[in-house]
Amino acid sequence: MTHVLIGLVGAGIGQSHSPLLHQREADRHGIRLIYTTIDSQALGLRAADLPDVLRWARALGYRGLNITHPFKQQIVDHLDQLSAEARALGAVNTVVFDDDTTTGHNTDAYGFQRAFAEEFPDAPRRHVVQLGAGGAGSAVAHAMLGLGAEHLTVVDVDPGRALILADRLGPRVSIASPAGVSDLLATADGVINATPIGMDHHPGSPVAAADLRAGMWVADVVYRPADTALLRAARAVGAPTLPGVPMSVYQAVAAFELFTGRSADPGAMFADSAELVRAGH
């Protein structure tokens, strides 16, 4: 493979560093890679438009698409087949076109699991509270159970969505109302933000500063900006923090391999990511 065309579909993705991250890794392999952004906010696209997006991407010669908020779950029904992990999670962040087949994959769970294992190897995980049960939340919950969480409580503004996720993942997962978050966090070992709150176009923090304490760890899947309001508040009280950048890089490593068939260099992609963050991408 000497050239490849891929894209990112999502809302508010104009400042995403995914295009340059993939393009720089492709350059190291001698691959001419063009990575476009298909911003649903800018183009007025909705979930109902996803079949057209897939059809046009294939017609235009795309090798595949990365899928991000808010379409990771909605895209599932429009694909020909799913990888085992994507099927288990009910969410897709990477679509690959092969001949006449569209295959959905999920590299988010791998990204979070590897980032957590490297950054928080000794973090307690008897009881973890996760905010968000959407596409990213599904992957993170799956990863957290694989990391040995004894119990995971999922909180979402949509209780039905949280219940579907808990039913899919089994008895170690329960759900709770947003109204009860303060009580949950008072005894939790850690909290994960898997909501869009904190992103550039969803500013703020999903956790009240008064609910944070030094005795808990805090992870955020948001990587743009790299330093969110939640992470700053957690550091202010002495809580260990895991930003979203490592997860974003590791999921990109896996996605790059799906798109190109080449093994990516995580170290080089981390260096690229750090440079792009510093440059404001």
Between the alpha carbon of residue 268 and those of residues 21, 52, 87, 116, 275, the distances in Å are: 10, 35, 31, 19, 11
Sheet with strand 3-10: strands edge to edge: 32-39, 3-10, 64-67, 94-98, 101-105, 81-82
Query: Three-state SS for 75?
Result: helix
Told to judge if 72 belongs to the known catalytic residues of this protein, a careful annotator would answer: yes
Distance CA 40, CA 59 (A): 19
Which of 165, 106, 167, 109 shows the shortest CA–CA distance to 139? 109
**Hey, which residues does 64 pair with through a beta bridge?**
6, 96
Which of 220, 221, 215, 246 shows the shortest CA–CA distance to 232? 220
Q: Judge contact between 62 and 7, C-beta under 8 A.
A: yes
Active-site entry in 72, 114, 142, 161:
72
Distance CA 210, CA 216 (A): 13
Distance CA 53, CA 43 (A): 11
CB count within 10 Å of CB 1 equals 14
Range list of H helices, 84-180: 84-89, 108-119, 135-146, 159-169
Distance CA 97, CA 103 (A): 7
Residues annotated as catalytic are: 72
